[in-house]
Amino acid sequence: VADVRLISLTTDFGLSDSYVGAMRGVISSIAPGVPLVDITHKIAPQDVRSAAFVLWAALPYFPAASVHLVVVDPGVGTGRRALASETSWGVLVGPDNGVFSYVWAAAPARSTVELSNPAYWRSTVSSTFHGRDIFAPVAAHLAAGVSLAALGSPLSAPVRLPAPHLSATESRLRGEILHIDHFGNAITSIGRLVWDGELLYLDPAFGTIQPRVVNPARLVVRIGERDVGSIRRTYGDVPPGELCALVGSEGLLEIAINQGGGAPALGIDVGDPVDVVVA
């Protein structure tokens, strides 16, 4: 089964309606037996930026030949374009609304086309559900071996989201909260941070500041008026219920409560600024 080409699914459809099922049915009709692998269907409704982050965090772990189908699509039925894009992280399929911005920053597009060839769509296209009528059939045809070029003409200047905030002075790194996860951990744009003995290397995942080496023992993390202390190795380095800063699983600075309720209980929200300062 070594050349099975899977399709991952990422949407904001939730899991209570017929919508995800209908997409899975469409794909299974065109490409029977293709593995369908959910990333998540619980992106907050129409939250393109949140989807962009989740894709950036999940896609590196998939086989490079995967097809990644994404439907977070507030502009469905309007003039927004639809695209497919080939990268070293797989082929991306979804609306041209910036949802692939963070993926492209790490895995630049080799080729991107506008989905303009209706031969690979369902024969009837609704004005409110392109996930089922355009994106799902296109993803299925790609998994079944259709080439990117067959789907449409090259698309230039796709929509891109602004990079997450990340800035540096001699004595301070400033980022922002990018995502709050199921455990209440607040993940920031400060990274990627790599431990090497006593030193941290900052190799920016986003933005354009220069890589640098910092000494974690001399650093203090601050969010708003709150002092979170120095950077730890894992949640268990502080007692249960206590706040800590650590390097998360994607190398981004993360603010967590060991076995606790997390960021929402503290009033921490996406977009809040976070500082790392030399103590």
Q: Which 150-189 positions form the footprint of a copy of itself (CB under 8 A)?
A: 179, 181-183
Residues contacting residue 169 through CB under 8 Å, at least 6 positions apart:
none
40 binds a copy of itself (CB under 8 A): yes
Q: Which stretch binds a copy of itself (CB under 8 A): 38-46, 94-102, 106-114, 211-219?
A: 38-46
Under the binding rule (CB under 8 A), the answer on residue 37 touching a copy of itself is: yes
Instruction: Indicate whether 128 belongs to the interface with a copy of itself (CB under 8 A).
Output: yes
Q: Is 78 in the site for a copy of itself (CB under 8 A)?
A: yes
Cα–Cα distances (Å) from 92 to 57, 77, 133, 215, in that order, read: 15, 20, 17, 38
Site for a copy of itself contains 229 (CB under 8 A) = no
| Candidate residues 49, 132, 141, 165; the one interacting with a copy of itself per rule CB under 8 A | 132
How far apart are CB 169 and a copy of itself at their closest, in Å?
28
Query: Under rule CB under 8 A, which residues in 252-271 are in contact with a copy of itself?
Result: 254, 259
- Binding of a copy of itself by 145 (CB under 8 A): no
Nearest distance in Å: CB 277, a copy of itself: 23
Token pair listed for 166: 């990340």
Q: Does 20 bind a copy of itself (CB under 8 A)?
A: yes
Residue 262's alpha-carbon distances to 51, 185, 277, in angstroms, are 21, 6, 22
Which residue number, 121 or 174, has a Cβ lying nearer to a copy of itself? 121
List the one residue out of 101, 64, 69 whose CA is nearest residue 84: 69
| 10/85 with CB nearer a copy of itself | 10
Single out the residue of 21, 118, 154, 162 in contact with a copy of itself (rule: CB under 8 A).
21
Cβ-count burial 40-78 (b if 16+ within 10 Å, e if not): bbbbeeebbbbbbbbbbbbbeebeeebbbbbbbbeebee
- The C-alpha atoms of residue 204 and residue 193 are separated, in whole angstroms, by 8
84 or 103, CB closer to a copy of itself? 103
The 3-state DSSP class for residue 148 equals helix
Cβ nearer to a copy of itself, comparing 51 with 168: 51
Beta carbons of 233 and 254 less than 8 angstroms apart: no
Least distance from a copy of itself to the Cβ atom of residue 166, Å: 20
Give yes or no for residue 197 binding a copy of itself (CB under 8 A). no
Q: Is 1 exposed, middle or buried (0-12, 13-18, 19+ CB in 10 A)?
A: exposed
Sign of the Cα pseudo-torsion (87, 89, 92, 98, in order):
negative
Q: Which of 200, 235, 243, 245 binds a copy of itself (CB under 8 A)?
A: 235
Q: How far is the CB of 239 from a copy of itself (least distance, A)?
A: 12
Expressed in percent and rounded to 5, the helix, strand and coil fractions of the chain are 25, 30, 45
